[in-house]
Every structure is written in C-alpha cells, then in structure tokens.
Chains A and B, each alone.
Chain A
C-alpha cells in the first residue's frame, strides 16, 4: 500500500476545505432564498420577522465552520454542510408551519450547534465513554424511568415522554433522545469488550453464543418494556435496530438478525393486541382511506400533501401542509414534499444517504472497534430515524412518532442530534490517533 505523501495529504485537505466552503455557500444561498421567498409570499414584502432566524442561523453556522476549520482542519467536510442545510431548512419550515415555536427552535439551534462544535473539538479521548458504559446506560434508563412518574407532554395530551426542566419555565427535555446516544455508547463499548474477550476464548462454542444471545434477549426485553411503559413504538424500533446492526457487525451472523426481526415482529404483534395506540397505528396504516376523517386523518392528510407537491412542489408557504395535525414535528417531511415537491423530498432523502455514507466512511477509517461501533451506531440512529418517519409519511410503514433529525421541531432531538454529529466529526479527525484500547490484551500479553 502506497502511503500518501504529506504534500498529497495537504492538497487533499485543502481541496476538502474548499469543497466544504462551497457547499456551505450553496446551503446559505438556498436557505436565504427560501426565507426571502416565504416573506414575499406571505407578506408581499421583505419582513424582518421572517429573516432574523435565518440570519442568526447563518452567523452560528459560519462560526461553527470557522472554529472547526481552525481547530480540526481534517474534519469530514460534508457533515457540517448537511447539518447546516437541514437545520436551516427546518427553521424556514418552522417559521412557515408553526411560527410560535420559531424563537424556541432558534435557541435550541444555537445551543445545538455549540454542542456540535464543542463535541467535535474537545474530547481528545473516548476512553471515559468506553469505561463507564454501565453508568451511562443506567443513567439513561433511570432518566427514562422518571418519565413514568414525572413525565408530561408539552402539548397537554398524548404520550408523556418529556420531563419539565425546573427553573426554566416551559422548557422540556425528552430523555429518550439522550438514551439513544447513551445506548449507542454502551453497545459500542459492550461489543468492543466482547470481541476482545472472544478473541482470547475462541474454541468455546457455548460462551460466544450466550454472550450475544443474552444481550439480544435483554435488549428485546428492554424495548418491549419501553413499548409497554410509554407505548413509544418509534424509540423501541430505533433502539432495537441499532442493537441488531451492531450485533451483526460484531458477529457477522445473519441468524441473530433474523431472530431479532422475528422478535421485533412478535413485539409488534403483542403491541397490536395489547395496546390501543399501537393497534390504531397499524390499522390506519393498513387502510387509512376508510377512516380518512377520523383515525386515518393524519396519514391521509400527509399523503394529500405529498401528492399535491408533485415534482416541483407548490412553493414555500404556498401549499396547505398545515391540514396535517402536528405537521411541524412528526410530518415536517410531508410539508417539504408538498412545498418543495419530489425534488425537495428526494434532496432530504439524499442528505440522509450522504450522512450514512460519511458515517460508514468514518467508521471504515477507524483503527479501533469502539470508534467504529460508535460511528456506525450514530449513523444507524440517524438512518433509522429518517427511514421510520419517511416510511411512515409515505405509508410504507405504520407511523412511529419519531422526528426527522434537524428538520422537525424539537429541542432535545436537535441538541442530541448535534451532539452525535459532533462526535462523528470528532471521530473523523482521528483515524490514526488516540490511545489504543488494549487493556485486556495488555494483560494477556
């Protein structure tokens, strides 16, 4: 293998920096044009009320870009433009669909991008994440468990998945968002640990099977409990998918995946017969048209939105996506399909496809299993979440009530998604550095 010279690497890095700058310029142009178009369409003139949010967004994105360029010059050049595009688009969309929430989302954007930059720049070493895996998991589960007693729903009805943050007025936090990341860290660490243990105990047929099967069942049980407790179909599916993908990567065994999916289906069936909400979602998924004015209303309205968008869309703020209940969180994607058409919805789809490729790319460059699993785990979280909501909107799957990362309204989701992208950026800068995790092997040696 030919090792690229320093000059080649420098040129490569410079080219990537230029690409990133170019992409950000395109994204800025897109978001600002849309903000201006919306202001013109709604007010007939340029109004500051529609422009201040994109301007704040522009400033924070430029700041993030500059800080990353200065401190982490070899960071992945596609992730920040992707986040910029989706978050900017999301802001325009929230201003259009639920202007009351705009300021709140803007604050979350500032916090989120700051968290992204901090998590991309500061952690030099993920050893502490690796080491205290059970602490993270326990903390996450405890936090989630508290929603059982103290959980609320900011809208006053529906699943009580939020915790009210004291002393901050009506600010809410969704622990299941944090749990996503904690679970990824735990699983990355767990599988890293298992693989090394297994690498010294090859030959013992029972133990490795048990080592993977036991957590598989445990995980399934956990997701089932989540389903029972909170009837949160989306989060349960998401966690289980992350687990299955990492399990497959760690073992290469298709059997586990098959078993996993059978268990998932079984859980779905149990949910269908045990819980009205799950049954409702599945029934309306199978045939929403017969109850288009009652139980199938949301999905039918969503399909109308997608259909009326056509190829080119109705244009920003010129369609009627607000007929879809809670369009700004669960159905932001349908709103994009209506106002930006197939071109817009496929663009969002491509954003997540590119995100997936970059995540896999970063994982493939890792020299340590924990980093690889962490990168893939984060990628799976984004892809599954995007897949679940897009498939829900297009009636491929039942609605699961997850949000579209960065685009939908939601503070906890935005901040946690930013944190995860920050970690991916961080991982992208360290393919060949950091402390190798060889505690177990050192002992053996």
Chain B
C-alpha cells in the first residue's frame, strides 16, 4: 500500500474538501428555507408559540363607552405595556371582562373582533405587520348610563339579585346590575375564587339568571286572556280568595277580595286561586302560547349572552299559571314582557349597544331592531297598565315569589315611569327576602333617578 503524500497530491484533494463544504452549507440553506418558508407558517400557529401571546398583548383594544361617552373599559399604555382598565365600578355585568388567561365575557366578548380591530383585508393587515404597528381596535358605545349603573350597583349593595333599567319604547338598557358581581380589574387575581363561589358572581343574573316567576306572570296571562276574549273585564269570578298549597306553603291573595271579584281586582290582590281557575279555561296549549308570545320561551336577542330556562313544557297547568311549574324566567325576559305592556302591546327587542366605530373612526349607529310581535292589542295593554298600582307617577307591581322547595322567597318589583306613558321601566329581583321593601325602594329610586336625569317626570 503506497500513499502519495507530496504537496501536489494533497492540493488535488482540496477540491473534494471544497465540494463537501459546499454540500454541507447547501444542506443548511435548504433547512433554513424549509423552516422559514415551507414549514414556518404551520408551526407558528402552535399554541405554545410565545409570539402569539406577544401579539395579543400588543393589541390596543378599543374602549367601551357609556351613552354619554364615559369610558367603561379602556386600554392604558403604561411604559411599554398595554393594560385593560375598567375605570367605573360596578360595570362587571355590562362590559364583562377581557383577560389574556381567561378569555372574554359580556360586551368584551360579543364585540371582541371589533374591539381588537381584526380586519379581513389581507393587504392592510400585511402592511400593518410589516410596519410593526400595533393592532388598534375600535370603540363601542353602549346604551348604559354609567351614573344609573353605579347608582343601581350601590343600591343593591350586598343583596343577591338583579336590576334591569331600560328606556322606552326602544328598550335601551340603561343599567344592568347583577349581584354578587366581580371587579374586571381584578379578574386574573380572583378568577379561581370567582369560579368556585357558589353564589356565581360571574353569572349575569339579568340575562342568564333563571328565576321561578310565581305571580310575576299574572298580568301577562290576564292581559293575554282578555285580549283573546277568553275572559272579560266585567266578568265576576268566585272563589278567587281560596288558598293554594305549593310544596306545603299556603299561597293566598295579598289583600282580601270580595267573594265575587273582577279579574282586575284579582290582579291587584295577586290572587293565586283566580289564576288556577283561568288556567283551566286556557288549557295547556293556551298557556304555552302566552308564555311563548311574551318571549319567556326563547333567549332574548341581546348583544351579550342571554339564556332561557330548560323547563319549557308544562306538567301542571294550575301550577304553571301561578309560575310554580317548570318555567323559569330571567329578569331581562320579565323586563321585555313589562315593556310590551308599556309599548302598546308590542314586544320590543332589548338593546345594549348604541353605535360602533368603523376603521376610519366614524360612528355607525346600531339601529334598534324593530318590534317583531304584536303580542296583545294596544287597548288591552293600556288597560293592564292602568291596573298597576300608581304612586308618584310610577306604575308598579311588587310580588313575593315562592322560590325553591326550601320555601325561600324572592322579592320582585316591576315599575314604569311615568305611569301613564312610560319612558323608563325597571325590573328588580332580590333573592331570599321576607318582604318586598328592599326591591321596591331600589326600583322607585332608580326610576326617579332615570326620570330626573332625562329631565322628565
């Protein structure tokens, strides 16, 4: 075996080394092209890519404003960081929350793409990314009045329950309080406690709470029965004051009524026996239709999440007529049914958002959706409205509702101001009450405040 080792021979081998070096570098070049161009876009979408979080953190979300352009949610720039801030207290149920860790809820959730500033236009997006400009979102203006909202939050204090105040006839929500609630500024710190809390502070009781309706249903059932001619104003009924037993609890008229009483008298005295009699006349189908007409069987169409109870079939029509059957209602549903009476018998669609900002910064009004159903005749509606208790220009109804097998009662307050031609309506429900005093006080104060603010009443 001989080995050529002179310098010429060695130099002749350099070409092999050169080729190998080239091959190695070309291999690297292909690997770079593969990861940068071919496979890159796919792997970048993996959840554990920190750039996705960085991008999310760099989004300057739009503000959520109240009806008077008071910021309810805004993005603050602190040094190089952006922070979502909720300057007005008691806004949790309205604006919801935005959290990198826990997602979004409420208006923050339903208007997320707009608030984030997501745009479908490829080139605008490409140009923005190339320039490393932060994504800037648009603002959303709500129908809510921060002053009324704060007042309602203060009034409900430590009580459990819900308040919904709305203007008429468009059913614009002016205040929406759910208690207990949460501070969206502290959501990340308190999230685990909030989720574990049995009183469900993250649930919006106005739109998602499911309550036993009890005699809250009475005016709507009577209105409907009057409207369809099944009963009449002059008709006298017997035995309206008889007691009804529900789960061992005896339900009776609030006030004594004559042995023979008109339907309106039984309404004023909230007599359960009159309702069970009416149920027999209406039949299961008739009763179901009334629930359906007043919107108790569907989730209201609102800009934030709403819920409907699942007990939509009637199992006992007598119990169903006094709101002690399967049906459950949310304060929002009751509010809209009340608005129907104030609104000449038309069921309105509730509205929470007034306007949104477009990419150019112009405000685009969110048109109030037209009323879709004429539920009852205008005259019947006015008749029912007159049958409410009228006090200081307020037309009101206060009901104690047996709720749950333990015999706990919820206090409801339904009110309208001015009573004869309402501009505002309110539904208050306070859980676990022995009398309706708290609910009534809150309801009246809120109606007066709303009326004062609008310069009316």
A interface residues, Cβ below 8 angstroms from B: 41, 194-196, 198-199, 202-203, 205, 208-209, 212, 245, 248-253, 292-293, 300-301, 303-304, 306-311, 314-315, 318-320, 323, 337, 341-342, 345-346, 349, 352-353, 356-357, 360, 363-364, 366-369, 372, 376, 380, 383, 387, 390-391, 394-396
Residue of A nearest to B42 (CB): A307
CA gap between A379 and B453 in the complex, in Å: 84
Q: A252-B13, A383-B24 are in contact. Are A307 and B35 (CB under 8 A)?
A: yes
CA gap between A101 and B90 in the complex, in Å: 49
Chain A contacts of B31 at CB under 8 A?
390-391, 394-396
CA gap between A366 and B8 in the complex, in Å: 10
Among B17, B18, B29, the most chain A Cβ lie within 10 Å of the Cβ of B17
Contact between B10 and A249, CB atoms less than 8 A apart: yes
Residue of A nearest to B39 (CB): A307
Contact between A369 and B40, CB atoms less than 8 A apart: no
Does any Cβ of A come within 8 Å of B7's Cβ? yes
Among B13, B22, B28, the most chain A Cβ lie within 10 Å of the Cβ of B28
Which residue of B10, B29, B34, B51 contacts A304 across the interface (Cβ within 8 Å)?
B51
B379 to chain A, nearest CB (A): 68
B20 to chain A, nearest CB (A): 8
CA gap between A194 and B5 in the complex, in Å: 9
Contact between A368 and B28, CB atoms less than 8 A apart: no
Which residue of A203, A292, A310, A353 contacts B2 across the interface (Cβ within 8 Å)?
A203
Contact between A346 and B43, CB atoms less than 8 A apart: no
Q: A360-B18, A396-B31 are in contact. Are A310 and B40 (CB under 8 A)?
A: yes
Contact between A383 and B21, CB atoms less than 8 A apart: yes
CA gap between A117 and B237 in the complex, in Å: 115
Contact between B32 and A345, CB atoms less than 8 A apart: yes
Which residue of B3, B27, B40 contacts A308 across the interface (Cβ within 8 Å)?
B40
Contact between B1 and A342, CB atoms less than 8 A apart: no
Residue of B nearest to A198 (CB): B5
Q: Which of B15-60 contact A (CB under 8 A)?
A: 16-18, 21-22, 24-25, 27-29, 31-37, 39-41, 43-44, 46, 48-51, 54
Q: A303-B43, A306-B40, A307-B43 are in contact. Are A391 and B10 (CB under 8 A)?
A: no
The 10 A-B pairs at the shortest CB distance, nearest first, are namely A307-B40, A195-B5, A394-B31, A306-B35, A342-B36, A205-B1, A356-B21, A390-B28, A323-B50, A353-B25
Chain B contacts of A395 at CB under 8 A?
31, 35
Which residue of A41, A251, A304, A369 contacts B3 across the interface (Cβ within 8 Å)?
A251
Contact between A349 and B29, CB atoms less than 8 A apart: yes
Which residue of B9, B37, B40 contacts A252 across the interface (Cβ within 8 Å)?
B9
Contact between A342 and B33, CB atoms less than 8 A apart: yes
Contact between A376 and B28, CB atoms less than 8 A apart: no
CA gap between A199 and B2 in the complex, in Å: 9
Contact between B18 and A306, CB atoms less than 8 A apart: no
Which residue of A199, A209, A364 contacts B6 across the interface (Cβ within 8 Å)?
A199
Does any Cβ of A come within 8 Å of B11's Cβ? yes
Chain B contacts of A249 at CB under 8 A?
10, 13-14, 17
Contact between B17 and A245, CB atoms less than 8 A apart: yes
Residue of B nearest to A301 (CB): B50
Q: A314-B132, A387-B25 are in contact. Are A308 and B18 (CB under 8 A)?
A: no
Contact between A252 and B3, CB atoms less than 8 A apart: yes
Chain A contacts of B50 at CB under 8 A?
301, 304, 320, 323
Q: Which of B259-301 contact A (CB under 8 A)?
A: none
Chain B contacts of A372 at CB under 8 A?
7, 10-11
Which residue of A208, A308, A376, A383 contacts B14 across the interface (Cβ within 8 Å)?
A376
CA gap between A396 and B28 in the complex, in Å: 8
Chain A contacts of B29 at CB under 8 A?
346, 349
CA gap between A352 and B22 in the complex, in Å: 10
Chain B contacts of A383 at CB under 8 A?
21, 24
CA gap between A323 and B18 in the complex, in Å: 36
Chain B contacts of A202 at CB under 8 A?
2-3
Proximity string of chain B (296-330) to chain A, C-beta cutoff 8 Å, 1 when within and 0 when not: 00000000000000000000000000000000000
Chain B contacts of A304 at CB under 8 A?
43-44, 49-51
Chain A contacts of B102 at CB under 8 A?
none
Contact between B18 and A349, CB atoms less than 8 A apart: no
Residue of A nearest to B20 (CB): A245
Chain B contacts of A367 at CB under 8 A?
7
Contact between A349 and B40, CB atoms less than 8 A apart: no
Chain B contacts of A309 at CB under 8 A?
36
Residue of A nearest to B11 (CB): A364
A400 to chain B, nearest CB (A): 14
Chain B contacts of A342 at CB under 8 A?
32-33, 36-37
Which residue of B32, B34, B44 contacts A349 across the interface (Cβ within 8 Å)?
B32
Residue of A nearest to B31 (CB): A394
13 interchain pairs, CB-CB under 8 A: A195-B6, A196-B5, A199-B6, A249-B13, A250-B10, A252-B13, A293-B48, A311-B37, A320-B51, A323-B50, A345-B36, A349-B25, A383-B21
CA gap between A341 and B49 in the complex, in Å: 18
Contact between B7 and A352, CB atoms less than 8 A apart: no
CA gap between A251 and B46 in the complex, in Å: 50
A440 to chain B, nearest CB (A): 12
A263 to chain B, nearest CB (A): 18
Q: Which of B404-429 contact A (CB under 8 A)?
A: none
